[in-house]
């Protein structure tokens, strides 16, 4: 809808990345100077803050701290994991959001998250349209998983990939110091899409890195795995294996499955894959083995963020505001890579992104050698290019400190 005038509301959702705050920085700084926007609010903890009317006033924040968000990991104003009920079943939440949008004169709503969040964003947008309330709703992508549809890549992925590739390269150097055989298994996040585990292969560009990479896209065979590792150890003595937490057997069962734990979206909570593979190799090959779970380190390592990624995350936030004030709604900002570190930004319909999941193309995977093919390297190397500048104080990153002053009507 064109010529809307009112407040802009930002909210973030899902798991953090090293650069999701960069999107917020881009969005807020643009919104603060935009003539169509009369006030800039950020909801505490995503839709939770929206439903509970906990809003922070961005006009009260220092510009220096807003810019420091560009290299501050996690969500400066909190996140949430909750799925709105569908309007058909229960529109209570959506009704409440409509009332709150009216009450606070919210005319621009920006939701920053992964595919679950784009679903939330889509639901809010559709409900507002049906109710006849004028608000432009734009989704801002983020996820280290890189699994969002309709965009060439996702902000957050490049930085996590850079951290993974750097760490695996360092680990490979560490693994090589003794003369005795050693296998190091590095477990990397990624529930169904292997993008981040695949990034471990980039380490080899430095000359030191992973030897084998296992992704959820290819059914896992314990026999082949043992034989792959044996071949590397026989040839090179040391072997570095990268595995996705989401690797599955032919029958679809997760290798690291613990079916007693599921998250609120019904996904199985994973973990322990590397521990299992370590005991498997120790038993079958009698080789010394170390298991490293990169855990949440890989999604919050802002000190090793990719400049390409951080800049694109910032731009996604900025473009979202520009496009919304130009009248666009019900879209997500998508990245279209145009060669090397260059990218353009476009809008794609939210409902095409919501709950869809993009996996690593099978023809990019060298299944036989548990490795990635050239198209993956061509795709991923530009995304890890450049070191995001971090300001240091007393030897540590000087992360943003927000005032978090509550907005009151």
Interacting residues with its own copies (CB under 8 A): 16, 45, 48, 72-75, 78-81, 162, 165-167, 169-171, 173-174, 176-179, 184, 202-203, 205-208, 290, 292-293, 295-297, 299-304, 306, 381, 384-387, 392-399, 401
* Strand 106-113 with 136-141, pairing: parallel
- Contact in structure between 292 and 185 (CB atoms under 8 Å): yes
Active-site residue set: 145
The Cα–Cα gap between 354 and 331 comes to 11
| DSSP H/E element including 57 | strand 55-57
Nearest distance from C-beta of residue 53 to its own copies, angstroms: 15
Task: Choose between 1 and 296: whose C-beta lies nearer to its own copies.
Answer: 296
φ and ψ of 343, to 5 deg:
-145, 150
**In the complex, minimum distance from the CB of residue 305 to its own copies, in angstroms, rounded to a whole number:** 10
Q: Is the dihedral of CA 308, 34, 64, 399 positive or negative?
A: negative
Nearest distance, CB of residue 218 and its own copies, angstroms? 25
Question: Which of 128, 186 has the CB closer to its own copies?
Answer: 186
Considering the complex, state which of residue 40 and residue 76 has its C-beta at the smaller distance from its own copies.
Answer: 76
Of 74, 14, 370, 336, nearest in space to 197 by CA: 370
CB of 238 vs its own copies, minimal distance in Å: 11
Q: How far is CA 83 from CA 111, 115, 143, 350, in A?
A: 13, 11, 17, 16
The token pair at 146 is: 């890189």
Q: Is the Cβ of residue 128 or residue 281 nearer to its own copies in the bound state?
A: 281
Instruction: Please report how close the Cβ of residue 98 comes to its own copies at its closest, in angstroms.
Output: 23
**200 vs 335, which CB is nearer to its own copies?**
200
Helices (H) and strands (E) in the chain, counts: 13, 15
Tallying the residues shown for the chain, one arrives at 409
């Amino acid at each position: 809808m064109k010529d809307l005038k009112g407040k802009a509301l930002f909210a973030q959702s899902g798991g953090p990345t090293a650069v999701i705050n960069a999107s917020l920085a881009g969005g807020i700084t643009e919104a603060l100077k935009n003539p169509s926007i009369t006030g800039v609010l950020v909801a505490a903890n995503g839709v939770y803050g929206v439903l509970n009317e906990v809003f922070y006033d961005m006009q009260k924040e220092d510009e220096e701290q807003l810019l420091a968000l560009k290299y501050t990991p996690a969500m400066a104003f909190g996140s949430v994991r909750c799925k709105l009920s569908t309007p058909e079943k229960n529109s209570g939440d959506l009704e409440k959001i409509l009332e709150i949008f009216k009450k606070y004169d919210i005319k621009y709503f920006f939701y920053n998250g992964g595919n679950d969040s784009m679903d939330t964003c889509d639901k809010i947008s559709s409900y507002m349209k049906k109710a006849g309330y004028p608000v432009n709703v734009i989704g801002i992508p983020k996820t280290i998983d890189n699994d969002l549809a309709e965009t060439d890549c996702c902000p957050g992925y490049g930085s996590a990939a850079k951290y993974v590739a750097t760490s695996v390269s360092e680990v490979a150097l560490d693994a090589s110091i003794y003369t005795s055989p050693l296998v190091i298994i590095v477990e990397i996040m990624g529930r169904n899409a292997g993008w981040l585990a695949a990034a471990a292969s980039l380490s080899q560009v430095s000359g030191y890195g992973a030897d084998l990479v296992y992704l959820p896209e290819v059914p896992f065979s314990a026999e082949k795995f043992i034989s792959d590792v044996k071949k590397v150890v026989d040839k090179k003595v040391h072997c570095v294996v990268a595995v996705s937490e989401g690797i599955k057997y032919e029958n679809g069962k997760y290798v690291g499955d613990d079916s007693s734990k599921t998250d609120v979206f019904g996904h199985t909570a994973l973990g322990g894959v590397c521990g299992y593979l370590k005991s498997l190799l120790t038993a079958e090959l009698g080789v010394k083995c170390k298991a490293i779970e990169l855990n949440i380190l890989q999604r919050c390592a802002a000190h090793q963020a990719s400049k390409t990624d951080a800049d694109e995350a910032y731009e996604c936030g900025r473009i979202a505001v520009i496009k919304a004030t130009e009248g666009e709604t019900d879209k997500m900002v998508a990245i279209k890579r145009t060669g090397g570190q260059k990218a353009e930004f476009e809008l794609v319909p939210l409902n095409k992104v919501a709950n869809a999941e993009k996996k690593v193309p099978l023809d990019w995977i060298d299944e036989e050698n548990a490795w990635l093919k050239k198209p993956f390297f061509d795709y991923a190397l530009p995304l890890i290019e450049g070191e995001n500048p971090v300001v240091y104080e007393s030897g540590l990153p000087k992360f943003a400190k927000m005032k978090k002053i509550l907005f009151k009507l």
